[in-house]
Structure 1
């Protein structure tokens, strides 16, 4: 297998971005997915692109880029301040995490793509990366589209009820504008069906595998999102889920 090509399943393949043209293609897809830009000159980019590994998911039939994300490996919690997430969350509690960590960010799927296998293949590639690099914690910011928290009250109530971070790892408030859902919705019982309908697919997958979130959402006006810090301790993933993900890799 070529070094740049990593995984092939059905009509989809994943590979590491190889050079500036690949990274620009990812930035263009991110711009389209996050901001709706459709010009060849519109790119979503920041200073983290140069220090991350970029993963591309392509349609093998026409080589069209349909999904991408980037990963920033950290040797342990003492490097947590290098992460993108540390701009928005006070993460000093995670400095005590001794294992290897990876921040997964800028995950997006082409707005016209609807095949659930895209997300499965992307997660399979993340699984391979985690296995190959002995990663113990996967983390990042999981985004809700738009900045109106009222659109997602049942989803936030569900996060408050079932999925808050363990106290020893709990991120604290750092961003100037946040929605403290655990506090504001402490008496609200979520409608489970509505909650899952409004939960972003990437976050939903994190939660199914045992992931946890911050007790507040950051209002990110630049990206036009609400996002929550999300962590997934690899050793906590149910064995059956691990087998399903690894089955896609094989």
Structure 2
């Protein structure tokens, strides 16, 4: 996969700086080599470590890549003490960058017609991962802070994506899914709806089980960050054997994240 030169030209028009914490720097990828390093990290974490289904092409390249990489902004965390190797990454795909008839990655599993009708400028977050030897918090914190700054400074209306839990046995995740359903369910008009072709399960079918829906301690760190800024989830979970995960659709209205001024600016721009 090679990024087209015009993509980096487009990036210069964004407000996208950099941040640092200790030995780590975070910014948008600036070269094909950095994107490839991010894809290699994704392969190691999202497939080899998590038990996903690896294709022959992945075995040869040791990279995880797809059609959205070419149009995406790749957030990378670089380790200055280790030759600036990529030790953390997040992929950002803007609705303004999608090609004709191209959908978000999330839309392979969910119909997000409600979100598209409500919001003018959408940003999909995906492929977030951190190197196993850097999971003490600093790398994830940098990815999170940089992405939130990117969303605010570039005036996105909503961010969306999928929140995943390891393993395809959804019964192992009933407590956390019940909690999310009880406390953070999307409104009916904005509800991401699972597509018929995917294997999904209604969370409501087990959320009313006595004793369920009360557990919050098992919420992953990244998801906890989403919930703190007003995230809402789908009422169905999708079973994904490719990544060996169970996941829900998730979105956050930027006006909840940054206040009414952000919403007013976006209203004047998009409506």
Q: TM-score, normalised by structure 1?
A: 0.84
Match of 1:137 in 2: 158
Secondary structure, aligned partner of 1:112: helix
Cα shift at 1:59: 2.0
User: Aligned match of 2:136 in 115, 123, 134?
Assistant: 115
Aligned partners of 2:37 and 2:85 also within 8 Å: no
Q: Which segment is superposed worse, 40-49 or 134-143?
A: 40-49
Aligned partners of 2:23 and 2:81 also within 8 Å: yes
Cα shift at 1:40: 7.8
Match of 2:125 in 1: 104
**Cα gap change, 1:113/1:65 in structure 2, threshold over 3 Å: closer, same or farther?**
same
Aligned partners of 2:180 and 2:213 also within 8 Å: no
Cα shift at 1:57: 0.8
| Structure 1 vs Structure 2 CA RMSD | 2.6
Q: Does 2:140 correspond to 1:128?
A: no
Count of aligned pairs:
234
Summarize deviations over 1:60-100 as a string: whole Å, max 9, x none: 22223211011111249xx9962110110011112212332
Q: Does 2:198 correspond to 1:186?
A: no
User: Aligned match of 2:37 in 25, 45, 62?
Assistant: 25
**Cα gap change, 1:225/1:59 in structure 2, threshold over 3 Å: closer, same or farther?**
same
Q: Does 2:235 correspond to 1:223?
A: no
Q: Does 2:111 correspond to 1:90?
A: yes
Summarize deviations over 1:126-179 as a string: whole Å, max 9, x none: 122112211120111111111111211110110111011122210112042012
| Unmatched tracts of structure 2, length 5 or more | 1-11, 50-57, 260-271
Match of 1:10 in 2: 22
Cα shift at 1:125: 0.6
Aligned partners of 2:237 and 2:247 also within 8 Å: yes
Match of 1:206 in 2: 226
Secondary structure, aligned partner of 1:54: strand
Q: Report the Cα distance in structure 2 between the residues aligned to 1:112 and 1:49, rounded to whole angstroms.
A: 25
| Unmatched tracts of structure 1, length 5 or more | 240-250
Secondary structure, aligned partner of 1:204: helix
